[in-house]
Structure formats: C-alpha cells, structure tokens
Amino acid sequence: AKEAGRCRYSYFTDVMSARAEQRMRTEHDLRIALANEDFRLHFQPRVSHCDRRVIGLEALLRWQRSDGRTVAPDEFLDVAEQTGLIVQIDEWVMREACRQSREWQASGLPVVPISVNVSLARFDAERLISHVRAVLAETGAAPEALEIEFIESQMFAQQERGQQVIGELKQLGVQVAVDDFGRGFSSLNYLVQYKFDTLKIDRSFVQGMPDPKHLAIVQAVVAMGQALDYRVVAEGVETHEQADLLASFGCNEMQGFLFSRPLAAEQLPALLRNGLPA
Ligand code: C2E
Ligand code: CA
Ligand code: CA
Ligand code: CA
C-alpha cells in the first residue's frame, strides 16, 4: 500500500510540474506575442433578426502563433489573467477595435458599435478609464462606436469600483454590456444598482431551448431586461428554432453561428454594406 501511495504521489507531481512548465512556456510566448503584436481581431456580427442587418460587432481575440496556428482565447486567457498580461492584451484589443472602426468609417461603411471584452481579473479602474480616453482621442473613434463587455461573475467581485467605472465609461459616451448573463452567481440586485446598456444572455440558456426550463428562463430574462430598459442580446444562437423562439419573446438582437461565425476583418465590409445574405 505504501509503495502504491508513493507511486501515485510521484505521478501527480509529474502532472503538476508538466502543467506548471506549460504555463511558464505560455507566459513566455505571450510576452513575445505582445511585443510583436502577434494578435488579430476577429469580428462576430450582432444582427437584427427581423431584417438581417448587422447592428454591431464583437471583437474576439486571436493569437497568430509562430507555427502558423491561430489560437482562440480559451487556450491562453487563464495564463494571461494570472500573470496580469491580460491588461495589456485588452488594451491592445480596444485600440485595434477603435482603429478598425475608424478605417471602415473612412471607407464609407456604416458605423456600428464594436464590443470588446475586458477582463476584470486584474482590474484597475483608473487605468481602464484613462486608456479608453486615450484610445478614443488617438484613433478619433466615436465613443458610441465602442461598447465594453464585462463578465457578470467578475463584476460581482468588484462591487463598488464596478459601479464607479461604469458611471465613468458612460460619461465618456461608451456603451457598457454585462456579458454571459445568467452563467455566474447572478445577483439581480446589481442589475438595479449598475446602469448597463446591454444585457447579453449566456449561450448556455439559449442553447438549452426548447427545453421548458430554459424556455422559461430566457423568456423571463428578456422581459426583465426590457422592463429595466436594457438592450437584450441573445448569444450563441445556432438554430432557426432558437432564433424564432427568441423573436417570439421580443428579443430581436442576436449573435451566433446561425448568422455568422467570427470573421477576419477583410470579410466585414460586404456584410456591413449589405447585411447577411438572405
Ligand atoms: P464571449 O465573450 O462569450 O464570446 C463569445 C464566444 O462564443 C466566442 O468564442 C465566439 O466564437 C463563441 N460563439 C459565438 N457564437 C457561437 C455559437 O453560436 N455557438 C457556440 N458554441 N459558440 C459561439 P471565443 O472567440 O473563443 O472567445 C471565448 C471567450 O474568450 C469570450 O467569450 C470572452 O469571454 C473571451 N475573450 C475573447 N476575446 C477576448 C478579449 O479580447 N479579451 C478578454 N479579456 N477576453 C476575451
Ligand atoms: Ca463577450
Ligand atoms: Ca458571452
Ligand atoms: Ca464568455
């Protein structure tokens, strides 16, 4: 028994040190990627279901690795948050989104708000506000063309400062969204306290439909969001059935693979001009 115990012990330490090593390698690579700006934005359309127009874009981070792989954030967000590198990465994303918005505007395309995701894991309210101010000034992007998405569960851990930073962002004219609504340890209380512009229903609820429990929750969240004067956006819409149910609840703003996957910047002008193909 003693032997076996020892074996197990060494097995777990091996796994743990392999994992630690992997993290250190990712951290090292991320620092290089930041210096070289090896990041790209993909943009996923937010659409109006009734007329298939693109009414917004969500900027989603992609890491162009030196071996040619394009890596999605799930593979490196943990490390980026733990090391604090996420702050610089999110700052890069905001700048790039505003730059891209201005470029599209200059080429005569309709301007739609671009949403960026901001992690609150290493939150510094003053730094965020001054960065937003600097980026708007630098790029000349209209504040209304920028929306900042905060993940609900992270917001919850940031109570007082969260409320303050939302107020300051709104004073700058920037839109604020609560992301992944329903997924974290939601408190309805802060929907009253904080004044977001947009509420994004987490895709797990959308994709749970037409299961009756999920139906009931989505319907109630749409009604509540609208009663509180939020723009309500459904995420992760993959089927016509989900889209039709949402529309029947009065939720017209949707995002998901049914309409479009996140796309490289070059693919956006046609969509911005013409809407989604029929
Ligand atoms: P999110 O903010 O909830 O973004 C939506 C994610 O859902 C995206 O994954 C998108 O590709 C995916 N998605 C969109 N429609 C569908 C659908 O119909 N079905 C399914 N199954 N998935 C769909 P992505 O790009 O891998 O991003 C994952 C998460 O990483 C994001 O979730 C967001 O929390 C985070 N993230 C992305 N970019 C950034 C960033 O620049 N900064 C920070 N801090 N986080 C980011
Ligand atoms: Ca988001
Ligand atoms: Ca989300
Ligand atoms: Ca998410």
* 209-242 per-position pLDDT tens digit: 999 999 999 999 999 999 999 999 999 999 999 9
CA distances from 146 to 55, 90, 140, 170, 241 (A): 13, 13, 12, 11, 31
Ligand 1 mutation pick, 42, 49, 60, max ligand atoms within 8 A of CB: 60
pLDDT digits 0-9 by tens, 60-96 = 999 999 899 999 999 999 999 999 999 999 999 999 9
pLDDT digits 0-9 by tens, 161-199 = 778 889 999 999 999 999 999 887 667 777 888 889 999
Judged by phi (left if over 0) then psi (alpha if -120 to 50, else beta), residue 250 lies in: left
Measured CA to CA, the distance from residue 160 to residue 157 in angstroms comes to 9
The helix or strand, by DSSP H or E, that contains position 32, with its residue range, turns out to be helix 2-36
Task: Report which of residues 120 and 144 the model is more confident about.
Answer: 144
Q: Residue 239: exposed, middle, or buried by beta-carbon count in 10 A (0-12, 13-18, 19+)?
A: middle
> Residue 130 has what pLDDT?
96
> What interface predicted TM-score (ipTM) does this complex get?
0.97
Measured CA to CA, the distance from residue 195 to residue 193 in angstroms comes to 7
Measured CA to CA, the distance from residue 168 to residue 126 in angstroms comes to 10
> Residue 1 has what pLDDT?
47
Atom of ligand 1 nearest to the CA of 255: 15
- Tally Cβ neighbours within 10 Å of residue 111: 14
256 touches ligand 1 (CB under 6 Å): yes
pLDDT digits 0-9 by tens, 3-44 = 555 556 666 677 778 888 989 999 999 999 999 999 999 999
Read off the pLDDT of each residue in 111-139 and give the average, rounded to a whole number: 94
